[in-house]
Amino acid sequence: MSTLVEIAVQIKVVFGVPISNADPLVMHTLGDYRVYLKLDAEQEIADPLRAAAS
């Protein structure tokens, strides 16, 4: 298993952020994951019903 896929698994476990199986294939750096997490957090803030359902 590649390191970036392992990182995706840990992001799911630690942060509870869903990452589809295809996403690790297009994320090539830790910066890509940082942007992904930031966008996910911004979306949760913008969508309180999504945040409440989590």
Mean pLDDT of 31-54: 72
Flag whether pLDDT at 9 surpasses 80. yes
Supply the mean pLDDT for the chain.
75
Q: pTM of this prediction?
A: 0.59
Q: State the total domains in the chain.
A: 1
Confidence of residue 52 (pLDDT cuts 50, 70, 90): low
Q: With contact defined as beta carbons under 8 Å apart, do 30 and 36 qualify?
A: no
- Three-state SS annotation for the chain: CCHHHHHHHHHHHHHCCCCCCCHHHHCCCHHHHHHHHHHHHHHHHHCHHHHHHC
Amino acid identity, position 9: V
pLDDT of amino acid 53 = 54
pLDDT of amino acid 16 = 82
Show the domain range for 17: 3-53
